[in-house]
Amino acid sequence: MPMHYSDPTRTEQAHALPDVETFRAALLACDECGTDTIIPTDRSTYADCPTCGETGVTNNVAWYWRPCFPGCLPDGDPVGPFDSEADALADARERALLPTT
């Protein structure tokens, strides 16, 4: 899955590592248990609900992003959906620049 920098100026730093992952995924809305799960996929397909095991149809394929510590696996829930990878990355970069209080 594509990895990006939340701060594009870090690409110039020799030892900087990416801290945002973007990916395409679909929503699996389980009719059996009511759980909504994001399943990484490029198309609508059948998938098993991770909660109850029932098979359902994924839909609403879109782009998402997740933060990660530089050089590490993604941490946290996916953010999205977005119409394009560029929209997802723009949202990630905008959120990274917001002041934390």
The better pLDDT of the pair 22, 98 is held by 22
Phi first, then psi: give them for residue 48, nearest 5 degrees. Answer: -90, 135
pLDDT at 99: 55
Q: Radius of gyration over alpha carbons of the chain, in Å?
A: 16
By C-alpha distance, which of 79, 52, 75, 74 is closest to 64? 79
- 33 pLDDT more than 70: yes
Give the tens place of pLDDT for each residue, 41-97. 877 788 888 899 998 888 889 999 999 888 788 888 899 999 999 999 999 999 886
Copy the structure tokens of residue 7.
Answer: 């701060």
Whether the predicted model's global pTM rises above the 0.75 cut: yes
Can you tell me the mean pLDDT for 19-36?
Answer: 90
C-alpha span between 95 and 91 (Å, rounded): 6
Measured CA distances, 37 to 13, 16, 28, 29, 73 (Å): 36, 32, 5, 7, 19
